[in-house]
Amino acid sequence: MKKKPLVVANWKMNPATFREAKKLFDATKRAAEKVRGISVVVAPPAIFLRGLSGAYKGKRVAFAAQDVSADEGGAHTGELSAAQIKDARAKYIIVGHSERRASGESDADVRRKTRAVLDAKLTPIICVGERERGASGEHFDVVRRQLQAAFADVASGEATRVVVAYEPIWAIGKEETMPPRAMHEMAIFIRKTLVATHGESAMSLSVIYGGAATEENAGAMLSYGDVTGLLVGHVSIDAQRFAALLREAGNI
């Protein structure tokens, strides 16, 4: 049975106020309610998460946190634990986003965070991707290393509880994405890498695309990129463009 496309709206550090966040969420909710056959997840700034999730009584939209601490609690100023995020009604947590990695997050950090999310019975969305591409295929080595580190503490039977978001860093924030054919090749590589370490069940792992996903390329990427969803950045904070993207995803 074909999986529903999973569309994750990563608002990053937007918008500036809760009032604006509520307005954006209401528009996103209305758009999601008009499109069937897809799963929509909103990842707002952490300070808005509980306010938005607590006021929402529907079932068409789920929530995610943009990051998590690997620690359960204690003296970690400014951090949020997986248990706290779960208490705020999130079901997903983004782990290892390229912007977090650029700020110093290591493969070892991603490994610990992935384990913490799974232990909290939440779904980690693990981001992997290369900063640049060369003709000799070094980007595959980068992605393999990131995957092996992130899944090091994930049991074979848990692999399908994880979503892998491939985000080529060179494409993030731009309007031009990678060709669906190239994404198809990477999706196969991701699954084969994890089959080698976690068995055949990893072939059914959800792989989503997260580099410049827009309303213009969503349909082609979902149809021909061998992905089961999209991690959407800047388009997700534009209500009209995100609604158009959801319509495209719903037509697949």
- Is 33 an annotated catalytic residue? no
* Cα angle, residue 251 at apex, residues 126 and 162 outer, rounded to 5°: 15
Angle of CA points 76, 121, 146, to nearest 5°:
70
CA-only gyration radius of the chain, Å: 17
Torsion of CA 217, 52, 48, 249, to 10 degrees: -10
List strand residue ranges (DSSP E) for 147-235, in order. 163-166, 206-209, 229-232
Q: Enumerate residues 6+ apart whose C-beta is below 8 A from 79.
A: 69, 71
Whether 132 is catalytic:
no
From CA 170, how far away is CA 48, in angstroms rounded?
29
Give the active site residue among 97, 139, 198, 234: 97
Residue 225, token pair as written in the block: 């990129």
| The one catalytic residue among 130, 139, 167, 248 | 167
Helix axes of 180-198 and 138-150: crossing angle, nearest 10 degrees: 40
Place of tokens 């306010």: 51
Separation CA 49–CA 65 (nearest Å): 8
Helices of type H across 88-212 = 98-102, 107-119, 138-150, 180-198
Indicate which residues carry an active-site annotation.
97, 167
